[in-house]
């Protein structure tokens, strides 16, 4: 450590007069050869062990006529922590301690730094009384101040949320891969972090959210909840940015992830008990520009629907799909974007046909819910268990019905078709914009047209739309545009509904979700067309001639029955 502002002679004289070192020790340091031409006397004495940093700081304090103090825990007024920007104070090694009227006592590691002292006067607008403290103790003091502020902020946030979050300290972690906590894990286990993580998990569960997003930015730590398919930010929950690493570490501990790994994506899961309900949480963490981003998917076992009758399907679609899930063999696909409820529909289909006289097996990534009687496998690519290899293994397990979480590649697609052609009923999902587009998608994956035509039974496309809140629903006459769309499709409706917004729906006008569907059933004529590798345009033309109804039709039916709004249908489906 170099002492700025002190000449060699001044430093030696002050050192002799202070009595901090003996004359012999000082002489030993003076006689030691310098390490280089630029090494100061203070640096040389530190190097040879004549001085330690505390003694050096005492010399600096004496030379500048200032007291040297040790910053013990509890020394200082924590209410002054907002007086200076924390990052600036840390970079300049300064810490406000006390204020009496217009005079501020401030700890500083280098009292010869005139630029920092001038900046302190400008930033605080107060008279300064400086004391010399080591940089390490100032850093510890700043950390303690931040911890106190964090705890107060967390308590304030939880207090503001109030009745929205009950039982924060009673959230019980049921299933975690980590039992012992130490080091960084212990920091993540301190009460402010535990209470905050419990608060956001419970708020999401009690608010019927499907996902929690925790996102660090350059200036804030943002927490958002996906409710009814739309991301919302609660202004009452705004944690300090400095809390981000501890929050992420706490979530990693709960979900059995590696807290030391911050450069690679990680996926984990945990199970909690909240208000007597068993909740599964699926955790995804990725390294982002400003820190690690966390998304937690909430999987409520109690909210799992039963059979197809619980899905809210339109009568014609329910009748058609119920017939399809009873087929002895073939492929039934469900298509739609991520988060459109495809897995729920497949689980409901399996529940409809589940019985002890059938061997039903699934391959999923990941397994979202445990289903009775059904044999479920989870993909583990690190162990070499892919969809394709798992399917091959299941085909040797004498299955009657198989569910494949997703058709992702050519190999999986071909095995699914092969399984259907050898007498199995296979359910799976696919990412396409509508039901008919699934056919060219599979052909492009590498499935032969004649095999696809023989194996495919039907494709169900679906989307989720928000349901109008029953507490603030009002009915009104349809607009001219909507009335025209109804007339073109021979839909009868004298009125439609909208939500005005109320406390129970957080002024959104919507509460809960329902599905809109499109069922494309393959008959013999369509099998001939598929075998000839017809284009998507040709397939759509033939389907229209056969009276096929697209997603928008089912959506408009639900607008006419006052279940959702026209704006919601336009948000998720193309209306022609």
User: Rounded mean pLDDT of 177-205?
Assistant: 60
User: Rounded mean pLDDT of 251-263?
Assistant: 84
Angle at 414 between CA 411 and CA 420, to 5 degrees: 140
Q: What is the pLDDT of residue 205?
A: 84
Per-residue model confidence as pLDDT tens digits over 305-341: 567 877 888 999 999 999 999 999 999 999 998 888 8
Question: Do the Cβ atoms of 42 and 56 come closer than 8 Å?
Answer: yes
In 3-state terms, what secondary structure has residue 116?
helix
Per-residue model confidence as pLDDT tens digits over 521-548: 999 999 999 999 889 999 999 999 998 9
Confidence at 302, pLDDT banded by 50, 70, 90 = low
Return the DSSP state at 49: T
State the Cα torsion 224-226-230-236 to the nearest 10°. -40
CA proximity to 270, closest of 361, 158, 366: 366
Strand 330-335 and strand 425-430: pairing? parallel
User: Rounded mean pLDDT of 197-203?
Assistant: 85
Confidence at 567, pLDDT banded by 50, 70, 90 = very high
State the Cα torsion 334-572-230-278 to the nearest 10°. -20
Q: What is the pLDDT of residue 154?
A: 57
- 277 pLDDT higher than 50: yes
| Cis preceding-peptide flag for 366 (omega within 30 of 0) | yes
Can you tell me the distance from the alpha carbon of 454 to that of 417, in angstroms, rounded to the nearest whole number?
9
Q: What is the pLDDT of residue 466?
A: 93
Can you tell me the distance from the alpha carbon of 61 to that of 57, in angstroms, rounded to the nearest whole number?
6
Confidence at 558, pLDDT banded by 50, 70, 90 = very high
Can you tell me the distance from the alpha carbon of 330 to that of 403, in angstroms, rounded to the nearest whole number?
12
Which has more confidence, 469 or 9? 469
Neighbours of 64 (CB within 10 A): 15
Strand 127-132 and strand 103-108: pairing? parallel
Q: Which residue has the tokens 């020394």?
A: 75
Q: Which residue has the tokens 């587009």?
A: 437
Angle at 181 between CA 180 and CA 185, to 5 degrees: 150
Can you tell me the distance from the alpha carbon of 93 to that of 86, in angstroms, rounded to the nearest whole number?
10
Can you tell me the distance from the alpha carbon of 464 to that of 490, in angstroms, rounded to the nearest whole number?
24
Q: What is the pLDDT of residue 471?
A: 92
User: Rounded mean pLDDT of 244-252?
Assistant: 86
Rounded to a whole number, what is the distance in angstroms from the first to the last CA of the chain? 75
- 447 pLDDT higher than 90: yes
Q: What is the pLDDT of residue 295?
A: 96
- 175 pLDDT higher than 60: no
Per-residue model confidence as pLDDT tens digits over 83-108: 887 778 888 889 888 777 788 888 89
In 3-state terms, what secondary structure has residue 549?
coil
User: Rounded mean pLDDT of 183-196?
Assistant: 55
Query: Lowest-confidence range among 48-52, 151-155, 464-468?
Result: 151-155
Strand 221-227 and strand 209-216: pairing? antiparallel
Per-residue model confidence as pLDDT tens digits over 338-389: 888 898 899 999 999 999 999 999 998 877 777 889 999 988 887 888 888 9
Can you tell me the distance from the alpha carbon of 377 to that of 216, in angstroms, rounded to the nearest whole number?
35
Q: What is the pLDDT of residue 61?
A: 83
Question: Do the Cβ atoms of 42 and 58 come closer than 8 Å?
Answer: no
- In 4-109 the beta strands, taken as DSSP E runs, fall at 94-100, 103-108
Contacts of 391 by beta carbon, 8 Å cutoff, 6+ apart? 363, 402, 404, 412, 415, 416, 419
Q: What is the pLDDT of residue 531?
A: 94
- The fraction of the chain above a pLDDT of 90, given in percent, is 36
Q: What is the pLDDT of residue 190?
A: 45
Mean pLDDT of the chain: 83
Q: What is the pLDDT of residue 402?
A: 94
User: Rounded mean pLDDT of 103-126?
Assistant: 87
Per-residue model confidence as pLDDT tens digits over 22-73: 777 777 777 777 777 766 776 777 777 777 777 778 877 887 888 888 776 5
- 19 pLDDT higher than 80: no
The token pair at 376 is: 């479920």
User: Rounded mean pLDDT of 497-524?
Assistant: 91
Element holding 225 (H helix, E strand): strand 221-227
Confidence at 4, pLDDT banded by 50, 70, 90 = very low
Confidence at 183, pLDDT banded by 50, 70, 90 = very low
The token pair at 507 is: 């002024």
Neighbours of 53 (CB within 10 A): 13
Q: What is the pLDDT of residue 160?
A: 55
Q: What is the pLDDT of residue 521?
A: 95
Question: Do the Cβ atoms of 8 and 41 come closer than 8 Å?
Answer: yes
User: Rounded mean pLDDT of 409-428?
Assistant: 93
Q: Label residue 117 exposed, middle or buried (CB < 10 Å: 0-12, 13-18, 19+).
A: middle
Can you tell me the distance from the alpha carbon of 225 to that of 204, in angstroms, rounded to the nearest whole number?
7
Q: Label residue 368 exposed, middle or buried (CB < 10 Å: 0-12, 13-18, 19+).
A: buried
- 166 pLDDT higher than 60: no
User: Rounded mean pLDDT of 506-523?
Assistant: 92
Question: Do the Cβ atoms of 268 and 275 come closer than 8 Å?
Answer: no
Can you tell me the distance from the alpha carbon of 326 to that of 349, in angstroms, rounded to the nearest whole number?
9
Element holding 283 (H helix, E strand): strand 277-288
- 167 pLDDT higher than 60: no
Which range of 127-136, 266-275, 536-545 scores highest in mean pLDDT? It is 536-545
User: Which DSSP string corresponds to 428-479?
Assistant: EEE--SSSTTHHHHHHHHT--HHHHHHHEEEEEEEEEEEEEPTTSEEEEPPP
C-alpha distances in Å from residue 319, one per residue of 200, 457, 489, 521, 556: 41, 15, 20, 12, 19
Contacts of 147 by beta carbon, 8 Å cutoff, 6+ apart? 190, 192
142 alpha carbon, distance to own chain's centre = 30
Q: What is the pLDDT of residue 312?
A: 81
Q: What is the pLDDT of residue 528?
A: 94
Helix axes 480-488, 551-560, angle to 10 degrees: 120
């Amino acid at each position: 450590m170099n002492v700025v502002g002190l000449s060699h002679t001044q430093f030696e004289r002050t050192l002799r007069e202070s009595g901090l070192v003996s004359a012999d020790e000082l002489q030993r340091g003076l006689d030691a050869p310098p390490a280089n031409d630029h090494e100061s006397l203070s640096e040389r004495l530190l190097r040879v062990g004549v001085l330690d940093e505390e003694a050096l700081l005492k010399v600096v304090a004496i030379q500048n006529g200032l007291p040297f103090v040790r910053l013990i825990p509890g020394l200082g007024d924590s209410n002054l922590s907002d007086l200076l920007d924390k990052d600036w104070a840390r970079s300049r090694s300064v810490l406000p301690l006390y204020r009496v009227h217009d005079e501020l006592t401030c700890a500083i590691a280098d009292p010869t730094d005139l630029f920092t002292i001038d900046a302190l006067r400008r930033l605080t607008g107060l008279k300064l009384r400086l004391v010399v403290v080591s940089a390490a103790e100032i850093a510890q003091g700043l950390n303690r101040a931040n911890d106190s502020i964090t705890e107060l902020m967390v308590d304030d946030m939880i207090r503001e949320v109030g009745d929205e979050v009950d039982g924060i300290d009673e959230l019980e972690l049921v299933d975690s891969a980590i039992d012992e906590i130490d080091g960084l894990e212990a920091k993540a286990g301190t009460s402010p972090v535990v209470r905050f993580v419990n608060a956001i998990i419970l708020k999401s569960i009690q608010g019927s959210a499907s996902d929690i997003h925790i996102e660090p930015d350059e200036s804030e730590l943002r927490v958002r909840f996906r409710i009814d398919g739309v991301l919302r930010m609660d202004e009452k929950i705004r944690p300090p940015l400095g809390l981000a690493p501890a929050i992420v570490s706490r979530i990693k501990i709960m979900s059995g992830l590696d807290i030391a790994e911050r450069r690679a994506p990680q996926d984990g899961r945990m199970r909690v008990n909240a208000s007597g309900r068993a909740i599964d949480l699926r955790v995804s963490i990725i390294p982002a520009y400003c820190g690690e981003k966390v998304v937690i998917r909430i999987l409520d076992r109690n909210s799992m629907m039963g059979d197809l009758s619980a899905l809210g399907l339109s009568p014609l679609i329910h009748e058609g799909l119920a017939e399809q899930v009873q087929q002895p063999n073939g492929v039934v696909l469900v298509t739609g974007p991520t988060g459109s409820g495809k897995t729920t529909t497949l689980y409901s289909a399996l529940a409809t046909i589940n019985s002890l006289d059938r061997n039903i097996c699934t391959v999923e990534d990941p397994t979202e819910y445990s289903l009775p009687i059904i044999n479920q496998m989870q993909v583990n690519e690190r162990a070499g268990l892919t969809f394709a290899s798992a399917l091959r293994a299941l085909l040797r397990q004498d299955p009657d019905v198989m569910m494949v979480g997703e058709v992702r590649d050519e190999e999986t697609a071909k095995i699914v078709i092969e399984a259907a052609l050898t007498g199995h009923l296979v359910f799976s999902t696919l990412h396409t914009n509508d039901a008919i587009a699934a056919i060219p998608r599979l052909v492009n994956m590498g499935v032969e047209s004649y095999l696809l035509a023989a194996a495919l039974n039907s494709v169900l496309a679906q989307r989720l739309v928000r349901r109008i809140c029953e507490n603030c629903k009002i009915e009104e006459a349809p607009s001219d545009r909507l009335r025209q769309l109804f007339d073109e499709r021979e839909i009868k409706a004298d009125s439609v509904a909208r939500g005005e917004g109320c406390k129970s729906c957080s002024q959104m006008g919507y509460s809960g979700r329902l599905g809109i569907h499109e069922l494309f059933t393959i008959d013999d004529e369509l099998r001939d067309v598929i075998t000839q590798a017809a284009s998507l345009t040709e397939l759509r033309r033939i389907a229209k001639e056969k009276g096929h109804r697209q997603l928008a039709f089912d959506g408009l039916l639900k607008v006419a029955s006052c279940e959702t709004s026209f704006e919601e249908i336009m948000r998720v489906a193309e209306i022609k």
